[in-house]
Amino acid sequence: MPVDAEKEITRLWKALHSAQDEIGKTYYRWRQVALEFAGDDVKSLDVALRAAEVFGKDIGKSILPRMNWLKGEEGFMMILGKTLAGLWITDGGLATVEKGEDPGEIFIKCTRDPWPTWAKEFGVPMEEVAICRERMYQSILEDVSVFMNIPLKIELQKAIPRGHGETVMRLYKAE
Amino acid sequence: MAKTIFKWDYSDYPGAKIYPHLFKPIQIGNLIIPNRIKYTATEENLNGLDGFVTDQGAAYLGERAKGVVGGLCFMQGVYMDEARMGQGYVGQAAAWDDKFIPGLKRLADAIHDARAVAGIQLMDCGRVGAVDVEYGHGPSAVPQRLRIFRPMKEMSKDEIKEMIQQHIDAAKRGVEAGFDVMEISGIVGYLVSNFVSGYTNRRTDEYGGDIRGRMQAVVEIIQGVKTVIPEDMPLGIRLCSEELLDDVRGNTPEESMESYKIAEEAGVDYISCTLGWQESIYPVISRDIPMGNWIHLAKRAKEHVSVPVSMAYRLFKPGLPNEKIGAGELDIWEMCRPMIADPLMPKKVLEGKEEEIRHCVACNLCLARLFRDAPMTCYINPICAHEANPEFAAPPPAEEEKEIMIVGAGPAGLECAYVAAQRGHEVHIYDKRDEIGGTLNEARHAPYGDDELWTCVEYQKVMCEKAGVNFHLGTEVTEEVIEDEMPDSVVLATGSVYSKLEVPGGDSDKIVYLADVMSGKAEVGEKVVVWGNRKPGIGCALHLAKQGKKVTLAGKDKTAGFDVNPSFKWRYMIYMRQNGIVAYNDCEIVEIDDAGIVVKTYDGYQWPIKCDTIVLADREPNESLKKAVQSEGIELFVVGDALIPRNLSSAVHDGYRIGMRI
Ligand SMILES: Cc1cc2nc3c(=O)[nH]c(=O)nc-3n(C[C@H](O)[C@H](O)[C@H](O)COP(=O)(O)O)c2cc1C
Ligand code: SF4
């Protein structure tokens, strides 16, 4: 009974996509719960930003074992950029990393992002998606900066609503 | 005049003639140590959860004290703060109050009973500490790289002063308890090393900055401790000669050597040369690192300081330290794991009984246990941590002498054989092979140091011969042999058999057995699947990958190397990656055909894997003689893989336990 490779890959692919879909949906379901408990006096954006910080802090800890200075500053920034882009890719996005003109400057570009679609489904404002990702990355960098003794910054330079076009983030070493 | 505590004369001992440099005295500070041997401080998690010394801890150390034959024997590093931020292990001994002095005295007395020099170590575990509290303390709050350790809090200047005072107070207690040598532990990521390293010390006050600033707290500890210990009590420090933290911008080797010079200036009487950090990505003491790999660091240390330099780290045999001491490149041979595995190791060297040494196999199980809050055990030494139990430590003679037939001369059978024979039984050990050692004969060909496992069999062989065990090699035990011999007891140590693949194609001629591959008997194609993802399978996969073959490892366990302790497993995972070995875990084989095999993952996905050869490494107990023995009504014991296929350690421990019970 030879393996039907096409069938196996299709099954796996479907399973991967539905798992990715659940990532976003689960997040927004929890967001609803958190807002219900928070009550009317709390701004939803504040809750979402706090969640982004918690996510970032935890992800930051988990990437520390991979931080490596052996390839010098440029190599380190590239690895870090790829790690951040990798988070987007895991969720189902298309993200790439490019070297900037300044030494150690990295651009993370995402040309396909599933988060705005999920957000729309749950009636979440598009701006929240972009700012939360920026905040999450900033929180990731907090521990990484202290750990590597290098002040790291990341900022959102361009965000396209609904996930089309290109979202650009700049990762750099602060003076 | 320098003080001598116990006089030793080694001139009549054979070992002193073979290794003259190991058995000559050395002056450290104002104390003469009769030889060049030191059992290093070793946590064993045998103390009470409240930090008090226990019978087990005292007996454990007493045995090691006998081993150093008059040399230095250190108790483990004590933590010194009531807040327990410096406590790194649940069973670590404490010295933060005078109430601990009687317990510490028991340890000093146990060492003195063996006429050895008693050392106490002060060890605040810093980043590796806070085992039972929320935060660890350190010079700066640098996040932990390894999640198992607690988050860090930066110490204020007052807290630093307090910590220095805690060292001084604990040192006083050590003096009162009767120790002869004082040591500060600054190794592998503990608090002292946290201050010294640029990676973890980011302070800008007088306790940070350049290497002098980062050494300031250490200097104050050294100077403070010096004021409370007697003139003839040497003070030493264990300091990193290479942190191996380049990837996170730790100290350079030059900075490390500078730290040695500063410690010497501050007044230490000797320096123990250490290396590596818990957080380092480089292996230092596992079996894949050849013995003697780091000894050049002692020579470099000696080029920078004039106080004596001691060193451990994979110095498992006496030859190299003897040579280096003779050449002036080392002063004292330190040992930790060699004396966990055999507490009397240097004594046996002195007595010319090296063949009776049970050698450490550098598996790091002892360490892995500590980090999992368990009392220490040793992979290869079943008595370790049971020294306080006389039945275990020196099994008494058997009440009734029996004729015992042991079937299988692998590590389980051999261990059982000599222990039972020492207790007065008449022991006959059989094996259908012409040689002893069982499947270890083949398994030892796995790369990355597995040849060292064979030392276990060499030791057991000698012990069996000395205990008068009767060998019947090249003799297959059948029902008829059992009927003819009719022994009082039978121990089945028949090992395991490879599990048959009950799937379509399961009789394919592509299938070979692991033992035949490892011995070179089986022909193996270029593309290989090794079926069975435990240690034997991994060893075989690496062995084949080293020959340039494309190897896939597949097996039923959720992760590869489920039977390897975490302190060694990470090495295998790296080597598998480096050797291009792909692993399919948590799966079964559903079919074998001309192209290769099809595996099905736990969640139902099927993968074809092309291969020319399938190596069977998955095992089940060999129970072939069980019924025959039972039907004769003979007392039956089953040990090692014949009970459940496991690892070498289980074989040795099973064998010992049955040997002492039978
Ligand atoms: C189980 C275990 C416990 C240890 N505890 C201590 C300790 O309390 N203080 C210390 O300075 N080093 C400690 N070490 C490090 C050893 O003293 C030694 O430096 C290291 O194991 C390398 O030497 P070896 O190859 O002879 O084992 C410990 C090592 C092991 C394996
Ligand atoms: S557990 Fe392993 S590393 Fe530790 S002493 Fe025993 S054999 Fe050596």
Mutation target vs A (from B127, B140, B145; most A CBs, 10 A cutoff): B145
Q: B144 and A148 in contact by Cβ < 8 A?
A: no
> How much distance in Å is there from the Cα of B291 to the middle of ligand 1?
16
Given the CA of residue B336, which atom of ligand 2 is nearest to it? Answer: 5
Task: Quickly tell me which residue has 């420090």 as its tokens.
Answer: B237
CATH topology of domain B396-495+622-661: Rossmann fold (3.40.50)
Q: Is the CB of B369 under 6 A from ligand 1?
A: no
User: A12 — contact with chain B (CB < 8 Å)?
Assistant: yes
CA–CA distance, A119 with B73 (Å, rounded to integer): 66
Model confidence at A161, in pLDDT bands (50, 70, 90)? low
Taking the CA of residue B197 and the nearest CA in chain A, the distance in Å comes to 13
Burial (Cβ within 10 Å: 0-12, 13-18, ≥19) of residue B524: buried
Q: What phi and psi, each to the nearest 5 degrees, are found at residue B584? A: -115, 110
Where are chain B's structural domains? 3-390, 396-495+622-661, 511-620
What radius of gyration do chain B's Cα atoms show?
Answer: 27
Nearest CA to ligand 2 atom 5: B337
Residue B312 structure tokens: 């451990």
Q: A1 and B143 in contact by Cβ < 8 A?
A: no
pLDDT at position B369 is 92
Please write down the long-range contacts of B544-552, taking CB distance under 8 Å and 24 or more positions apart: B544/B517, B544/B615, B545/B579, B545/B580, B545/B581, B546/B447, B546/B579, B549/B524, B549/B525, B550/B526, B550/B580, B551/B579, B551/B580, B551/B581, B551/B582, B552/B527, B552/B528, B552/B581, B552/B582, B552/B583, B552/B584, B552/B609, B552/B611
Mutation target vs B (from A1, A3, A70; most B CBs, 10 A cutoff): A3
pLDDT reading at A164 higher than 90: no
Residue B546 structure tokens: 């080293």
- With CA atoms as reference, the chain B residue closest to A10 would be B605
Q: Provide the b/e sequence for B315-326 (b: ≥16 CB within 10 Å).
A: bbbbebbbebbe
CA–CA distance, B375 with B47 (Å, rounded to integer): 9
Model confidence at A163, in pLDDT bands (50, 70, 90)? low
Instruction: Report the interhelical angle of B296-304 vs B253-266 (nearest 10°).
Output: 50
User: A42 — contact with chain B (CB < 8 Å)?
Assistant: no
- 3-state SS class at A140: helix
- Contact assessment for residue B14 and residue B351, using Cβ atoms and an 8 Å cutoff: yes
pLDDT reading at A3 higher than 90: no
Residues with CB under 6 A from ligand 2: B 337, 340-341, 360-366, 378-381
Q: Which of B43, B182, B278, B377 to mutate to test the pocket of ligand 1 (most atoms within 8 A of CB)?
A: B43
CA–CA distance, B458 with B454 (Å, rounded to integer): 6
CA–CA distance, B497 with B477 (Å, rounded to integer): 16
CA dihedral for B40, B43, B48, B52, sign (positive or negative) = positive
pLDDT at position B1 is 83
Residue B124 structure tokens: 């605040």
> How much distance in Å is there from the Cα of B564 to the middle of ligand 1?
20
> How much distance in Å is there from the Cα of B476 to the middle of ligand 1?
44
Domain of A69 in residue numbering reads as: 5-173
> How much distance in Å is there from the Cα of B39 to the middle of ligand 1?
9
Nearest CA to ligand 1 atom 22: B313
Instruction: Report the interhelical angle of B253-266 vs B216-228 (nearest 10°).
Output: 30
pLDDT reading at A2 higher than 80: no
| CA atoms lying within 13 Å on the CB side of residue B186 | 32
Residues linked to residue B403 through DSSP beta bridges, in sequence order: B426
- Contact assessment for residue B113 and residue B154, using Cβ atoms and an 8 Å cutoff: no
Note the maximum CA span of chain A: 63
Q: A8 and B143 in contact by Cβ < 8 A?
A: no
Tell me the CATH number at A137.
Answer: 3.30.1380.20
pLDDT at position A159 is 85
CA–CA distance, A108 with A37 (Å, rounded to integer): 35
Residue A2 with chain B: CB contacts under 8 Å = 593, 608
Q: What phi and psi, each to the nearest 5 degrees, are found at residue B258? A: -65, -40
- Relative to beta strand B31-33, strand B26-28 is antiparallel
Task: Quickly tell me which residue has 């019970």 as its tokens.
Answer: B661
For chain A positions 59-118, those within 8 Å of chain B (CB to CB) are: 60-62, 64-65, 67-70
- Contact assessment for residue A101 and residue A126, using Cβ atoms and an 8 Å cutoff: no
CATH number of B3-390: 3.20.20.70
Q: What phi and psi, each to the nearest 5 degrees, are found at residue B540? A: -70, -40
Model confidence at A165, in pLDDT bands (50, 70, 90)? confident
Residue B70 is inside which H or E element, if any? Answer: none
Query: Same topology for domains B396-495+622-661 and B511-620, yes or no?
Result: no
Q: Collect the ranges in chain B with pLDDT lower than 50.
A: none
Compute CA distances A69 → A1, A66, A90, B566, whole Å: 50, 10, 25, 25
Q: B593 and A2 in contact by Cβ < 8 A?
A: yes
User: A134 — contact with chain B (CB < 8 Å)?
Assistant: no
Q: B608 and A2 in contact by Cβ < 8 A?
A: yes
Give the closest residue to B81 by CA, choosing from B149, B148, B144, B155.
B155
Q: B144 and A149 in contact by Cβ < 8 A?
A: no
Closest ligand by atom to B343 CA: 2
pLDDT tens figures, B483-495: 999 999 999 999 9
Q: A149 and B246 in contact by Cβ < 8 A?
A: no
pLDDT at position A118 is 94
Given the CA of residue B381, which atom of ligand 2 is nearest to it? Answer: 6
Q: How many domains does chain A have?
A: 1
Q: Which residue from B143, B504, B598 is facing A143, i.e. has the nearest CB?
A: B143
Compute CA distances A108 → A159, A166, B377, whole Å: 12, 10, 49
CA–CA distance, B286 with B573 (Å, rounded to integer): 14
Domain formed by B511-620, architecture? 3-Layer(bba) Sandwich (3.50)
| CA atoms lying within 13 Å on the CB side of residue B2 | 15
DSSP line for B235-296: EEEEEEEE---GGGT---HHHHHHHHHHHHHHT-SEEEEEE-BTT-SS--SSTTSPTTTTTH
Burial (Cβ within 10 Å: 0-12, 13-18, ≥19) of residue B448: buried
Q: What phi and psi, each to the nearest 5 degrees, are found at residue B618? A: -80, 135
Residues linked to residue B591 through DSSP beta bridges, in sequence order: B598
Q: Strand runs (DSSP E) across A37-151, as ranges?
A: 94-99, 106-112
Nearest CA to ligand 1 atom 18: B336
Give the closest residue to B614 by CA, choosing from B497, B478, B474, B507.
B507
Closest ligand by atom to B186 CA: 1
Those residues with Cβ within 8 angstroms of residue A43's Cβ, 6 or more apart along the chain or in another chain: none
Q: A149 and B249 in contact by Cβ < 8 A?
A: yes
Q: Provide the b/e sequence for B278-293 (b: ≥16 CB within 10 Å).
A: bbbbebbbbbbbebbe
User: Looking at chain B, how many residues does it have?
Assistant: 662
- Relative to beta strand A106-112, strand A94-99 is antiparallel
Q: Strand runs (DSSP E) across B98-163, as ranges?
A: 117-122, 136-138, 152-154
Sheet-wide strand order for A152-158: A94-99, A106-112, A167-173, A152-158
Q: Which of B42, B289, B311, B364 to mutate to test the pocket of ligand 1 (most atoms within 8 A of CB)?
A: B42
pLDDT at position A175 is 77
- Contact assessment for residue B553 and residue B576, using Cβ atoms and an 8 Å cutoff: yes
Q: What phi and psi, each to the nearest 5 degrees, are found at residue B27? A: -95, 125
> How much distance in Å is there from the Cα of B649 to the middle of ligand 2?
10
> How much distance in Å is there from the Cα of B91 to the middle of ligand 2?
19
Q: B145 and A148 in contact by Cβ < 8 A?
A: no
Nearest CA to ligand 2 atom 8: B360
Q: B605 and A12 in contact by Cβ < 8 A?
A: yes
Residue A87 structure tokens: 């988070």
